[in-house]
Structure 1
Amino acid sequence: MAALYAFRRMTTADLPLIGQWLAKPHVREWWGDPDEQYALVSGDLAEPAMDQYVVAATGSDFGYIQCYDLTAWNSGFGAHPEGTRGIDLFIGEPAMIARGHGSAFIRAFVDDRLRDGAPRIVTDPDPANRRAVRAYENAGFEKVRMVDTPDGAALLMVRNP
């Protein structure tokens, strides 16, 4: 399945699509207020420590993933090797949910980053988001511990090479 996925750098031209996805109930449930999230995501386009991608399968855009330098944010995740990256993501297209795409594209994306020298990738899903936790586990992440974030309690998950 991994060969199906393409990760295209997000540009301002993608913002209307991202805005539509953020407003969808299944995204809003975990990402929160769409207007607030849109402001953050669009503002991060100018952030050098943040890489943002639109995820496509067989030529159709269906999701978003951001990958950031963990040291650029006060994440509360504790000590990690220099160069550790954090990820956050969502599947925007409802028809792509619950079909195995989440764990498959996470694995493909993270495998690329680890091959390119990242020493570790971390993520912090809401522990109540069982679908996300399961997708990360299926992509090779391990549960580490609960952490406090600006958005509330989260489950720190780690993937090493």
Structure 2
Amino acid sequence: MAEHPASADAPAAVDATTPADATTPGSATTPGDATPSTTTRGSATPSTATPSAATPGDATPSATTPGESTTPDRATPHGAITFRPLTPADLPMLAGWLAEPHVRRWWNHETSPEAVQRDFGPTMRGEEPGEDLVVSVGGTPAGLLQRARWHDFPGYVEKIAPIVAIPAGAVTIDYLIGPPELTGRGLGPRILAAAVTGVWQHYPDATAIIVPVCAANRASWRALEKAGFRRVASGDLVPDNPVDPPLHHVHRIDREEPGCHP
């Protein structure tokens, strides 16, 4: 799950799951974007992988993470960011994304049809808590967003407890950007900004979004910070990819209370 502020010219996100809502859960995996996850990928559960970007509001920043180009041909993709529930028809596309090197590096997921059905099927069918959402930019599928309440997965709350306390109602997000041609273009922060907005809309009792990120995925936690998240703790968690060291940074963003600002 589960990297940033919004750009003034970025269109507001629309959540296809509810009328005019902007939302979704998840974390990014692109050269520079990553994804958080403390669970097997597929179920929308608290993540310790490395998220790509999330921010308050419905727009997202044009700022790029280190290594991202700002030349015209690599400009941040425009078009409304929308989300809809993952369906069985999407699984071949998702398997293709999971097999891309920039995604595989961080998600470390099996990509056979059987494995993808096994890991994503239960959430699609409503047998497990959480949500798996297809992210589209300007109507074109661009990635996956996951979101879930931490306390729907008490085992993960227990694992992270030595590092940070998870308040009641807290949500986590995770996401990936699938097509390689969309990576490294500042899209992660836009998706994360829309994801944050969506969490506040769909989880009215949620006061915070908390995302653990593999410390090795610098681009991911930098994206979160650009989106308005702040680092609140660091500690060891089991990484999604065993090649990575266990150190994770935990990032958090809180819902602003009405009347906080004049």
Using the size of structure 1 for normalisation, the TM-score is 0.89
> Is 1:15–1:42's contact at 8 Å kept on the other side of the alignment?
no
Deviation (angstroms), 1:44? 3.2
Deviation (angstroms), 1:2? 4.2
> Is 1:77–1:156's contact at 8 Å kept on the other side of the alignment?
no
- Distance between the aligned counterparts of 2:121 and 2:101, measured in 1? 20
Q: How does 1:4-153 map to 2 (within 5 A)?
A: 4-35=80-111, 38=116, 39-46=118-125, 47-73=127-153, 74-75=155-156, 76-78=159-161, 79-116=165-202, 117=204, 118-151=206-239, 152-153=246-247
Aligned to 2:64: none
- Distance between the aligned counterparts of 2:198 and 2:109, measured in 1? 31
Q: Are 1:155 and 2:249 matched, yes or no?
A: yes
Segments of 5+ residues of structure 2 without an aligned counterpart are 1-9, 13-79, 240-245, 256-262
Segments of 5+ residues of structure 1 without an aligned counterpart are none
Distance 1:133 1:94, change over 3 A: same
> Is 1:2–1:108's contact at 8 Å kept on the other side of the alignment?
no
Q: How many residues align?
A: 161
1:43-69 CA distance string (max 9 Å, x none): 432444211100000010011011011
Structure with max Cα Rg? 2
> Is 2:122–2:128's contact at 8 Å kept on the other side of the alignment?
no
Q: What is the CA RMSD across the aligned residues, in angstroms?
A: 1.9
Deviates most, 36-45 or 89-98: 36-45
- Distance between the aligned counterparts of 1:33 and 1:114, measured in 2? 29
Distance 1:50 1:134, change over 3 A: same
Q: Flag the structure with more relative contact order, 1 or 2, with Cα contacts below 8 A and sequence separation at least 6.
A: 2
> Is 1:2–1:105's contact at 8 Å kept on the other side of the alignment?
no
- Distance between the aligned counterparts of 2:173 and 2:235, measured in 1? 15
Deviation (angstroms), 1:41? 3.0
If each structure's strand is expressed as a fraction of its own residues, which one has the higher value? 1
- Distance between the aligned counterparts of 1:160 and 1:19, measured in 2? 33
Using the size of structure 2 for normalisation, the TM-score is 0.57
* Letter in structure 2 aligned against 1:124: P
Poorly superposed stretches of 4+, deviation over 6 Å? none
